[in-house]
Structure 1
Amino acid sequence: MTRHTDTPAAASLPVRVVEVSAVRRLSPHMVRVTFGGRALADFTYDGPDQQVKLYFPRPGQTTPVLPEPGADGDPMRWYGAFQAIPEDERPWMRSYTVRAHDPASGTIDIDFVLHEGEGHGPATRWARSARSGDVLGMFGPSAYFAEPVPLGTADWMLLAGDESALPAIGTIVEALPAGARAVVYVEVWDAAEEQRFDSAGELTVHWLHRAASAAGAPPLVDAVRAAVFPPGSVFAWLGGEAGAVRALRRHLVGERGLDRRSVHFTGYWRRSLTQDDAPTETDLAEARERLADQDTA
Structure 2
Amino acid sequence: MKETALTGEPDGARAGKTRGEPQPDHVVATPGHDSPFRFERQRNELRFRVLRLALRTWITPQYVRLRLEGMDLAGFDSRGADDHIRLFFPSTEIGPSEVDGFRNSPSRDITPLSWDAEEGWLDVELTIHPGAGVASPWAADAPIGSLVGQGGPRGSKVMIGRPEAWFLAGDETAVPAIRRFLADAGADATGMVLVETEDAQHEIPLAAPKGVTVEYVHRDGVAAGLALSARLDRITAAERLAGTVIGFVAAESSVVGPARALLLDRWALRAEAVTARGYWKRGVARYDEAH
TM-score if structure 2 supplies the norm length? 0.75
Structure 2 segments unaligned to the other structure (5+ residues): 1-28, 30-38
Q: Is 1:170 the equivalent of 2:203?
A: no
- Report if the CA contact (8 A) 2:168-2:178 is conserved: yes
More helix by share: 1
**Structure 2 residue matching 1:182: 3-state secondary structure:** strand
> 3-state DSSP class of the match of 1:195?
coil
Match of 1:85 in 2: none
User: Hey, what does 2:157 align to over in structure 1?
Assistant: 147
Pairwise CA distance, 1:67? 4.3
* Bigger Rg, which one: 1
Counterparts in 2 of 1:199 and 1:106: CA distance versus 1, 3 Å? farther
Q: Please give the alpha-carbon distance, in whole angstroms, between the structure 1 residues aligned to 2:288 and 2:182.
A: 33
Q: Does 1:55 align with 2:88?
A: yes
Quote how far apart the aligned CAs of 1:208 are. Answer: 0.6
Compute the displacement of 1:251 (Å): 3.7
Alignment of 1:1-16 (within 5 A): 1=29, 12-16=45-49
Matched, 1:218 2:251: no
Partner of 1:244: 255
Is 1:33 the equivalent of 2:73? Answer: no
Q: Partner amino acid for 1:183? A: M
Residue type matched to 2:120 in 1?
G
Deviations 1:126-166 (A, max 9, x none): 112123211111111232xx22245623x211101001111
Matched with 1:131 is: 143
In the TM superposition, what is the alpha-carbon distance from 1:259 to its structure 2 partner?
A: 1.6
3-state SS, counterpart of residue 76 of structure 2: coil
Equivalent AA in structure 1 for residue 55 of structure 2 = A
What is the correspondence of 1:100-119 to structure 2 with a 5 Å cutoff?
Answer: 100-103=114-117, 105-116=119-130, 118=131
Deviation at 1:216, TM superposition (A): 7.7
Secondary structure at the aligned position of 1:219 is classed as helix
Task: Pick closer, same or farther for the CA change 1:185–1:149 going to 2, 3 Å.
Answer: farther
Could you report, residue by residue, the CA deviation over 1:213-272 in whole angstroms, capped at 9, with x for unpaired residues?
768873111112212233333210111112213431244223432221111133211110
Aligned-residue identity in percent: 27
1:182 matched to 2:159 = no
How far does residue 63 in structure 1 lie from its aligned partner after superposition? Answer: 5.4
RMSD of aligned residue pairs (Cα, Å): 2.8
2:16 paired residue number: none
Q: Please give the alpha-carbon distance, in whole angstroms, between the structure 2 residues aligned to 1:48 and 1:151.
A: 14
Q: TM-score, normalised by structure 1?
A: 0.74
Distance 1:168 1:234 in 2: 17
Q: Secondary structure at the match of 1:17?
A: strand
Q: CA separation of 1:216/1:125 partners in 2, compared to 1, >3 Å: closer, same or farther?
A: closer
Question: Relative contact order, CA 8 A, sep 6+: which one is greater?
Answer: 2
How big is each residue's C-alpha offset from its partner over 1:57-78, in whole Å with a ceiling of 9 and x where there is no partner?
A: 13x344596449xxxxxxxxxx
- Greater per-residue strand proportion: 2
Distance 1:36 1:217, change over 3 A: closer
Point out the more displaced range, 97-106 or 162-171. 97-106
* Contact 1:98–1:108 (CA under 8 A) maintained in structure 2: yes
- Tell me which residue corresponds to 2:216: 207
Gaps of at least 5 residues in structure 1 are: 69-81, 83-89, 280-297
- Is the Cα contact below 8 Å between 1:63 and 1:136 reproduced in 2? no
